[in-house]
């Protein structure tokens, strides 16, 4: 991935220089290429920052800006950027069906192939969550959980296979917990998390314990219990000692930073976010668990932005908007649920900074993204934005956003 990025970075840099443009001129040309959509772009200085980062191959580039580069340079998009390695949308029905054969495979002896099939189904569940959100994940996760429990109860297997199955069952319990958390059922989420912790204890699976405690910390943060969130992430860090990769340590430090920011502890936040940035690696390592591979540089920046939102002073909100606007350009590929949530956060930041028009425009973008995602967290943020902007219904853009909210609500109820 990094090699491909360096290749297209060199091509866009060479193309710019061949036309005698400096980087500020490249930013202006991208804005001109947007035409009537120009108002939806960030300001010149932010766009210039993107150009600099793209030419350094520091971050990826979204489809929107690939298209603008092609227009501005009068060049074919594939010629500039080549084949793009981004994941295709998830074929949800096929993924759900993948879990069905597992429930009936316990008639014979359970072997390595059965376990491998189960792990493939777990990976597909992660894809559902990334693309669609927890609302679409609950049913397939519960179905898969019933399948592995049936294997454990009715199947015949060696002690080693049994331990692996219990660990796998714990991973699906954790996924089910996350699904219920993301879709708003916090009691059932907590119950599945506790089941996952028990499975981790029985299987002596420290990786599963670390993951589950980290997810429980996130749930506590969203329920406005930051001290509990900090305690849980401290337990996760203890569980991770001796095996954690730098990316896992970065994720745990990031969750610690989030907890400190929620408590308005600037010193604790600064120390933890510095550790997260120090530990984070650009490239995914072979030893990295699949459940931490979401933590790219842009995702780390998004979470840092949320910390500044929680710190809450005017200078913090300025910093939060700058970080989030920049990072959103690189939240691409299969992570549609995250991008949807983050655009909603950006609208909220703009409202808190007094930019009613900007908040409404960003809210309209968020509404369009929410049409393909099922996440109660995202809906709650949208509803809060709607409530805040309701007092400004005289604004034309606000009225458009509020009408979109009404249409979305009618569609959900219909």
Measuring CA to CA, which residue among 109, 113, 104, 100 is closest to residue 140?
A: 100
Predicted pLDDT of residue 247 = 94
Q: How far apart are CA 348 and CA 384, in angstroms?
A: 8
Per-residue pLDDT for 334 more than 70?
no
- Domains of the chain, by residue range, sit at 2-81, 95-104+112-204, 236-285+293-332, 333-414
Which position has the higher pLDDT, 338 or 153?
Answer: 153
110 φ, ψ (degrees, to nearest 5): -85, 130
The predicted pLDDT at position 331 comes to 59
- The rounded Cα 126 to chain-centroid distance in angstroms is 11
Q: Does position 252 have pLDDT exceeding 90, yes or no?
A: yes
Q: What is the pLDDT of residue 372?
A: 64
- Cα 13 from chain centroid? 30
User: Partners of 156 in the beta sheet?
Assistant: 109
Q: Assign a CATH topology to domain 2-81.
A: 434 Repressor (Amino-terminal Domain) (1.10.260)
pLDDT digits (tens, 9 = 90+) for 256-283: 999 999 999 999 999 999 999 999 976 7
Helix pair 336-352, 297-311: axis angle to 10 deg: 30
Rounded mean pLDDT of 223-247? 96
Tell me what pLDDT residue 134 has.
Answer: 67
**Whether pTM exceeds 0.85:** no
What pLDDT score was predicted for residue 336? 66
In 204-245, which ranges are continuous DSSP H helix?
A: 206-222, 226-240
Q: What does the pLDDT read at residue 64?
A: 72
pLDDT digits (tens, 9 = 90+) for 380-400: 888 888 999 999 989 999 999
Mention every residue, 6+ apart, whose C-beta is less than 8 A from residue 75: 15, 69
State phi, psi for 156 to the nearest 5 degrees.
-115, 130
DSSP category for residue 74:
T
Q: What is the pLDDT of residue 54?
A: 81
Q: How far apart are CA 364 and CA 405, in angstroms?
A: 9
Note the pLDDT tens digit of each residue in 70-90: 889 988 887 888 744 333 333
Q: Determine the Cα–Cα distance for residues 354 and 328; give it in Å rounded to an integer.
A: 21
Q: How confident is the model at residue 100 (pLDDT cuts 50, 70, 90)?
A: very low
pLDDT over 60 at 204, yes or no: yes
Alpha helices in 133-158 (DSSP H): 134-154
Nearest to 354 by CA among 323, 381, 317: 317
- CA dist 331 and 144 (Å) reads 29
Here the tokens at position 165 are 């199955």
Q: What is the pLDDT of residue 89?
A: 35
- Give residue 50's pLDDT band: very low, low, confident or very high (50, 70, 90): confident
Average pLDDT, the chain: 83
């Amino acid at each position: 991935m990094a090699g491909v990025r360096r290749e297209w970075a060199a091509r866009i840099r060479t193309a710019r220089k061949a036309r005698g443009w400096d980087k500020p001129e490249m930013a202006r040309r991208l804005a001109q290429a947007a035409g009537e959509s120009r108002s939806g772009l960030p300001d010149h200085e932010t766009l210039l920052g993107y150009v600099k980062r793209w030419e350094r191959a520091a971050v990826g580039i979204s489809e929107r800006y690939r298209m603008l580069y092609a227009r501005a340079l009068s060049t074919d998009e594939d010629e500039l950027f080549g084949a793009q390695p981004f994941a295709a949308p998830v074929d949800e029905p096929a993924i759900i069906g993948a879990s069905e054969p597992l429930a009936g495979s316990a008639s014979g002896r359970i072997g390595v192939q059965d376990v491998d099939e189960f792990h493939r189904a777990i990976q597909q569940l992660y894809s559902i969550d990334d693309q669609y959100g927890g609302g679409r994940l609950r049913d397939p996760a519960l179905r898969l959980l019933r399948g592995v429990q049936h294997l454990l109860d009715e199947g015949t297997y060696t002690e080693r296979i049994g331990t692996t199955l219990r660990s796998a069952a714990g991973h699906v319990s954790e996924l089910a917990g996350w699904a219920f958390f993301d879709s708003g059922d916090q009691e059932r989420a907590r119950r599945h998390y506790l089941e996952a912790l028990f499975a981790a204890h029985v299987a002596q699976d420290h990786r599963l314990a670390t993951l589950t405690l980290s997810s429980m910390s996130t749930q506590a943060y969203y329920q406005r219990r930051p001290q509990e969130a900090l305690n849980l992430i401290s337990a996760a860090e203890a569980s991770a000692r001796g095996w954690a990769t730098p990316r896992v340590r970065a994720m745990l430090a990031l969750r610690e930073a989030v907890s400190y920011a929620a408590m308005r502890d600037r010193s604790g936040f600064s120390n933890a976010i510095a550790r997260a940035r120090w530990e984070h690696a650009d490239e995914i390592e072979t030893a990295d668990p699949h459940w931490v591979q979401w933590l790219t540089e842009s995702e780390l920046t998004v979470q840092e932005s949320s910390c500044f939102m929680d710190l809450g002073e005017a200078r913090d909100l300025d910093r939060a908007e700058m970080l989030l606007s920049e990072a959103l350009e690189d939240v691409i590929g299969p992570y549609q649920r995250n991008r949807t949530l983050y655009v909603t956060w950006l609208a909220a930041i703009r409202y808190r900074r007094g930019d009613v028009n900007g908040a409404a425009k960003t809210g309209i973008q968020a509404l369009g993204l929410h049409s393909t995602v099922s996440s109660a967290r995202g809906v709650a943020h949208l509803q809060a934005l709607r409530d805040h902007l309701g007092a400004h219904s005289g604004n034309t853009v606000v009225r458009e956003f509020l009408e979109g909210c009404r249409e979305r609500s009618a569609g959900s109820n219909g």
